[in-house]
Amino acid sequence: MIESYIPIFLILAVAVVFGVVSANMSWLLGPQRPNRAKNSTYESGMEPVRTAHDRFSVKYYMVAVLFILFDIEVVFMYPWAVQYRNLGLYGFVEMVVFIGILLVGFVYVIKKGALQWD
Amino acid sequence: MTFETILFYVLALAGIVSALLVITRRNPMHAALFLIVNFVALAGIYLTLHAQFVAITQVLVYAGAIMVLVLFVIMLLNLQNEQDLFEKRSWRSYSGPILSLLLLALLLRTVAFVSGGSFDRISPESERIGTVANIGQQLFTAFVFPFEMASLLLLAAMVGAVILAKKRFP
Amino acid sequence: MPDIIFQSTKHFWPEITLALTFIAAMIFEFATKKRTTGTGILVLLGLAAALVQLPSAPSEPVSIFGGMYAIDPFSTFFKYVIIVTGMVVVLFSFQSQELKKESGHTGEYYCFIAAVTFGMVLMTGSSNLVMIYLSIELVSITSYILAGFSKSLRRSSEAALKYVIFGALSSGIMLYGMSLIFGLTGTLDLSGIRTALASGHAVTTGWSFAALMAAIVLMLAGFGYKVSVVPFHFWTPDVYEGAPITITAFLAVASKAAVFAVMIRFFYVAFFDNMLASTGVYSSFRNVDWSMILAVLSVLTMTLGNFVAIWQDNLKRMLAYSSIAHAGYMLMGVVVMSNFGLSAIMLYFVMYFFMNLGAFYVVMVIADKIGSENIDDYRGFGKRAPIISVGLSIFLISLTGLPPTAGFVGKLFLFSSVMASQFIWLAIVGVLNSVVSLYYYARVLKNMYLREAPDGDESPIVFSKVTSAVVILFIIPNILLCFFYQPVLTFAQRSIAILLPGL
């Protein structure tokens, strides 16, 4: 049973190795001759006056929340799609009701301009 | 040792180490990133328990969507000096770990008691419970009522997010 | 399976009406331009439509949707309380000045009232752990947003934030308890849990017993948070003070009713031996005195609520502590869990509805007029606004539980039910607590009648005819129910049938 997941684990391993290797390759291969001017934030510019961490707009948060909600909706569709043939029309109606209710929310979000970035 | 056992120990180790790192890192961003590692490790353990659907949800929803939200919130709050927020050690900072250990002992002992003293076998039923097909069957027959109610919950949450975050209404 | 759905839908129309009201109100909100009272009226009509369908509920308990949901007289009783409270809160909201400041999105406010009412109604009938969790979450999420609705007020946002943090924690704790129960019994169905425990299918000895106890304590903590039982009450004063006052009233009455209903159902169906209902035995805990644990919680709750209320200067905050104390009184009925105790809780909720909503209404109209909820600012009100003052006095006397008010009858039955089950000391503590509560309620009366306004101002404060009429409408039942409580009591006694396995 678990053996059938070996391809997935292989891909995971490749992904990790690829990420680690390519992130450190330049450090391994490139020449390193640091000096003070090179290490400053802007080599020939102004000294930074405060941290670069800035407060994010709350709009990102709203987009993220809406993304999660629709993501969960899609997760419910996955087992439904697998069982679609067995459930037949009955399952289809259930899903239509589910999506119909969420569609009201979607129209609301669009109408209220919640996804506009002005 | 079978391949499965080795896999389990690797994933369990990754899960525990990353969980410890989550609660000990003082930089919240680092803690959040280790939480992703923890989620992925847990997803792997779910797979070894044949709970495919939970594993997929864990990666898609938790490691994917929820963690995006967590990172956004950390950046939104942008508390400049998170590291100063750690309170001085008092009896409170010790009571948490002690209570956690007690709960762990209780759970381990219970599981061992119910499963006849052994931890290394998977119930034969779990082979079919966690498959996507079985969850689809259950969700759309026995649990169809909670399923439809969940859509209303999601709808309320959707409107709520818009109300809370939107400054001006057109 | 489709047959079961169609069969079940027949009994489910009040809930469907509420859900449709929520959706229709939302569509109305984005499809029309700036008619926020229109949404309110739509919601009001929807609630009324759900209410008129309640009397046709079957008189025998029915289990629908494959055991997910129970329709029984017990839940129907609480549905009446919840839906009527929802309607009253919508009517209050039409008049509230605080909400008019948020004119940009009051339409959503009414949508959420429909959603939260639906969630609470769903709570009263949930007979499966999944449904209990879903309905509690539906109510919680909407309540968080309603509590923070006055976005221009800092304290409202603070209330919402505290509510979210404590609420999320309590949901997590409750979910943990549910997962332990599921692990130990192998079922999510409340009747199934009862059968599993009784048949010995689930192991309830040794360590499993300890784990089961831990699970139930976690569940109790989760429920305790929602009805603000000490020591899980921290959020209550801040949230009640910060939320718009209409929402505070809603949370204090309807939310409590819903959580009490689901808590009673959970303990009664899953763990309670109804064969011994007159003496009160929690079947799975023969070697743990579960009633005693609940009794201690009840005493802690009412005592802390009453004593801390003494030091409050803000009337809204004082009513928050008073509602904690009332949760303690009502918990006494859960302690005994006898038929008498259950009907006493139900009777008390009817009385509580009239006295608490009346008090919150008066606080609302006075705050809209003078812009303050401070008890010191009520000085001289007895002369300046006689009707309102008389109303507030009666509501507060009723909350204390003195005759001739409805609160007296409510407390009388609650205390007698406890005494009938041999918890005499608990009844005595309850009475002593009522005496303490008289002290801080009387302080408001003293300010209104015995003290002059600070600047000697005796000019009358004019309230609209509608306001006076509403206050009088609330005074009448508060007095009448002291003498003519029999119909309500009969109705409550007839409504104690809870769905049990094998029925």
170 residues of chain B, pLDDT tens digit each = 677 788 888 999 999 999 999 988 888 888 999 999 999 999 988 888 888 899 989 998 998 889 988 988 888 887 666 556 665 667 777 888 888 888 888 777 777 766 665 556 666 666 778 888 888 888 888 899 999 999 999 999 999 988 888 766 55
The pLDDT value recorded for residue C250 is 94
A-chain CB neighbours of B68 within 8 Å are 64, 67-68
B-chain CB neighbours of A68 within 8 Å are 61, 65-66, 68-69
- State the CATH number of the domain containing residue B25: 1.20.120.1200
The pLDDT value recorded for residue C172 is 92
Nearest to B72 among A9, A64, A69 (CB): A64
Q: Which C residues, 20 through 79, put their C-beta within 8 Å of a C-beta on chain A?
A: 23, 26-27, 29-30
Chain B to chain C Cβ contacts (< 8 Å): 85
Does residue B139 belong to any structural domain of this protein? no
The pLDDT value recorded for residue C279 is 44
**At a CB cut-off of 8 Å and minimum separation 6, what does C246 contact?**
C89, C92, C93, C96, C99, C360, C364
Q: What is the pTM of this model?
A: 0.91
Q: Report how far residue C78's alpha carbon sits from residue C258's, in angstroms, rounded to the nearest whole number.
A: 7
Query: Distance between terminal CA atoms of chain C?
Result: 21
Which residues of chain A are at the C interface, by a Cβ-Cβ cutoff of 8 Å? 90, 101, 104-105, 107-108, 111-112
Residue ranges of domains in chain A, CATH in brackets? 2-111 (1.20.58.1610)
C263 residue type, one letter:
M
Q: Which domain holds residue B96?
A: 3-127
Q: Which of the residue ranges B153-167, C185-199, C262-276, C402-416 would you say has the lowest mean pLDDT?
A: C262-276
**C389-400 b/e with 16+ CB inside 10 Å = b?**
bbbbbbbbbbbb
Q: Report how far residue C280's alpha carbon sits from residue B113's, in angstroms, rounded to the nearest whole number.
A: 31
- What is the share, in percent, of chain C residues with pLDDT greater than 90? 53
Q: Subunits touching C (CB < 8 Å, at least 3 pairs)?
A: A, B
- CB contact, 8 Å: B136 with chain C? no
Residue A98 has pLDDT above 90, yes or no: yes
Does residue B137 belong to any structural domain of this protein? no
**Residues comprising chain B, all counted:** 170
CA distance C208 to chain B (A): 5
Q: Which C residues, 484 through 503, put their C-beta within 8 Å of a C-beta on chain B?
A: none
Q: What is the pLDDT of residues C40-51, one digit of tens each?
A: 999 999 999 999
Q: What is the pLDDT of residues B4-40, one digit of tens each?
A: 788 888 999 999 999 999 988 888 888 999 999 999 9
The pLDDT value recorded for residue C173 is 92
The pLDDT value recorded for residue C393 is 93
Per the structure, the count of domains in chain B is: 1
- Report whether C370 contacts C384 (CB < 8 A): no
Helix (H) or strand (E) holding C63: strand C62-64
Task: Tell me the average pLDDT across C173-180.
Answer: 91
Residue C280 has pLDDT above 70, yes or no: no
Q: Computed from CA positions of residues B77, B80, B86, B88, in that sequence, does the dihedral angle turn out positive or negative?
A: negative
Q: What is the pLDDT of residues C112-127, one digit of tens each?
A: 999 999 999 999 999 9
**Tokens at C302, concatenated:** 């009412």
Does residue B117 belong to any structural domain of this protein? yes
Residue of B nearest to A86 (CA): B137
CB contact under 8 A, C26 and A105: yes
- Report whether C255 contacts C349 (CB < 8 A): no
Task: Tell me the average pLDDT across C433-438.
Answer: 92
The pLDDT value recorded for residue B168 is 63
Does residue B134 belong to any structural domain of this protein? no
CB contact under 8 A, C27 and A101: no
Q: Report how far residue B161's alpha carbon sits from residue C10's, in angstroms, rounded to the nearest whole number.
A: 34
**Tokens at C152, concatenated:** 């221009």
CB contact under 8 A, B146 and C144: no
Residue B71: strand, helix, or coil: helix
More confident residue, C220 or A118: C220
Residue C224: strand, helix, or coil: helix
More confident residue, C271 or C439: C439
Q: Report how far residue C305's alpha carbon sits from residue C326's, in angstroms, rounded to the nearest whole number.
A: 8
More confident residue, C81 or C404: C81
CB contact under 8 A, B154 and A56: no
- Report whether B31 contacts B21 (CB < 8 A): yes
The pLDDT value recorded for residue C503 is 44
CB contact under 8 A, A75 and B147: no
Does residue B106 belong to any structural domain of this protein? yes
pLDDT bucket at C496, cuts 50 / 70 / 90 = confident
ipTM summary value? 0.89
The pLDDT value recorded for residue B3 is 76
**C2-11 b/e with 16+ CB inside 10 Å = b?**
eebbeebeeb
The pLDDT value recorded for residue C223 is 94
Q: Report how far residue B134's alpha carbon sits from residue B144's, in angstroms, rounded to the nearest whole number.
A: 14
Tell me which residue of B36, A111, B138, B87 sits closest to C105, measured CA to CA: A111
Q: What is the pLDDT of residues C288-327, one digit of tens each?
A: 677 888 899 999 999 999 999 998 999 999 999 999 999 9
- Report whether C437 contacts C359 (CB < 8 A): no
How distant is the alpha carbon of residue C162 from its chain centre?
19
Tell me which residue of C208, C203, C220, C273 sits closest to C501, measured CA to CA: C273
**Tokens at C495, concatenated:** 């409504």
Does residue B159 belong to any structural domain of this protein? no
Q: Report how far residue C191's alpha carbon sits from residue C499's, in angstroms, rounded to the nearest whole number.
A: 9
Give the mean pLDDT of chain C: 87
- What is the share, in percent, of chain C residues with pLDDT greater than 70? 93
Residue C502 has pLDDT above 70, yes or no: no
Helix (H) or strand (E) holding C124: helix C106-125
Tell me which residue of C186, C178, C188, C185 sits closest to C215, measured CA to CA: C178
Query: Distance between terminal CA atoms of chain A?
Result: 52
Does residue B24 belong to any structural domain of this protein? yes
**Tokens at C290, concatenated:** 């579960």
Task: Tell me the average pLDDT across C463-469.
Answer: 89
Q: What is the 3-state secondary structure (H, E, C) of A14-76?
A: HHHHHHHHHHHHHHHHCCCCCCHHHHCCCCCCCCCCCCCCCCCCHHHHHHHHHHHHHHHHHHH
CB contact under 8 A, A105 and C29: no
Residue A113 has pLDDT above 90, yes or no: no
The pLDDT value recorded for residue A103 is 94
CA–CA–CA angle B112, C181, B42 (5° rounding): 65
What are the CA-CA distances from residue A12 to residues A19, B42, C116 (Å)? 11, 14, 44
Does residue B59 belong to any structural domain of this protein? yes
Task: Tell me the average pLDDT across C419-448.
Answer: 91
The pLDDT value recorded for residue A116 is 82
